[in-house]
Amino acid sequence: MPIPSADPIVNIPMVTPFDDLDRIDHDAVAANVARWLETPATGFLIGSQTGEEWFLSEEEKLAIARTVKSNLDDRRFLMGGVDCPSVVETLRRVEAFAEAGAEVVRIRFPRGQSMVEPYFEHVLPRSAVPVLLMHQCEPARFGEAAAPAAAPEVLGRVANMDNVFGYVTDHDVRFESRVRRCVRDDRRFWICNGSLMLHGALMGCNGTTTAFANIWPAALDELLRLGMSGRYEEAQPLQSHIQQIDAVMLPYLAAGVKVALALLGFEGMRPRTPTTPVPPDVAAEVERLMRAAGALPV
């Protein structure tokens, strides 16, 4: 499909469903995508920390991408996730995702400020598809800010380059508000976390890709729309519910997200070995908070 032109966009960094033998369950991938197609989410990212990217081979990621692509409607788009400091290898992976049907790739900033601009000066002009820049230098730190990849002015210069789809913040709102001032007004600027939707809207964000998008994309879409229109007081109760769920769930990374999705009836919601499941008392607290928020029937 053509890349959406209207904002906000809620992008789902998809969890990966596994069967009882720890294999990717492609039937569950298709069934889960069908559930998400009933929500306002329009983007689907394969190869993220939420999707247990370090537990997947490249072949597995591409196979998931092809399954997702074959089950999307003409209103949704596919994104592939790349995290690699090598220009040659990055471009090879981008091409592979493009061949699998991805319209966009998400690329993390390389670690080390001296590498940032040269890396993207080589990658962006040669990328087969537009690039979503991900400022996430320590992907496993859900809900916590890492040291920035570079100064705000450097990140802004990269975000303003040609063939950039947009930029995704890290969790340091103060730092990212400085980056926002360095990025062209017409560029997509996305917030990275469900607990920060209104903070993001206040600094000028117009979309999101976040673990919580797997669980309740409609709530994130609503928060972005309310925040972008300045209706912060109206949005605050919903934001508070999401913050409470996030606080309990996110320390367990993908396993925590899968607990919430299992409560909603999504399939294949077990983490891949050797990740351990969420403790029962934590799972019970996630359920209580989701019911209180209206994400589950009371």
Q: How confident is the model at residue 75 (pLDDT cuts 50, 70, 90)?
A: very high
Query: Quick check: 204 and 189 in contact, CB under 8 A?
Result: yes
Q: Does residue 3 register a pLDDT over 60?
A: yes
Amino acid at 261: L
Q: What is the pLDDT of residue 224?
A: 97
Q: Does residue 151 register a pLDDT over 70?
A: yes
Query: Hey, where are the domains in the chain?
Result: 9-229
Q: What is the DSSP string of 166-193?
A: EEE--S-HHHHHHHHHHS-TTSEEEE--
**Of 146 and 69, the one with more pLDDT:** 69
Decide: pTM greater than 0.85: yes
Q: What is the pLDDT of residue 139?
A: 85
- Read off the pLDDT of residues 89-104 as tens digits, 9 standing for 90 and up: 999 999 999 999 999 9
Query: Quick check: 122 and 131 in contact, CB under 8 A?
Result: no
Instruction: State the average pLDDT over residues 183-196.
Output: 95
Closest by CA to 164, choosing from 184, 181, 148, is 184
Contact residues for 281 (Cβ-Cβ < 8 A; gap 6+): none
Instruction: State the average pLDDT over residues 140-167.
Output: 92
Q: What is the pLDDT of residue 247?
A: 96
Q: What is the pLDDT of residue 144?
A: 78
- Read off the pLDDT of residues 266-277 as tens digits, 9 standing for 90 and up: 999 999 999 999
Q: What is the pLDDT of residue 238?
A: 98
Query: Quick check: 285 and 248 in contact, CB under 8 A?
Result: yes
Q: How confident is the model at residue 1 (pLDDT cuts 50, 70, 90)?
A: low
Contact residues for 196 (Cβ-Cβ < 8 A; gap 6+): 171, 173
Q: What is the pLDDT of residue 212?
A: 97
Cα 207 from Cα 221, distance rounded (Å):
8
CATH class of 9-229: alpha beta
Contact residues for 230 (Cβ-Cβ < 8 A; gap 6+): none
- Read off the pLDDT of residues 39-61 as tens digits, 9 standing for 90 and up: 999 999 999 999 999 999 999 99
User: What would the two tokens of residue 202 be?
Assistant: 């206040």
Instruction: State the average pLDDT over residues 237-264.
Output: 97
Helix (H) or strand (E) holding 215: none
Q: What is the pLDDT of residue 178?
A: 97
- Read off the pLDDT of residues 194-247 as tens digits, 9 standing for 90 and up: 999 999 999 999 999 999 999 999 999 999 999 999 999 999 999 999 999 999
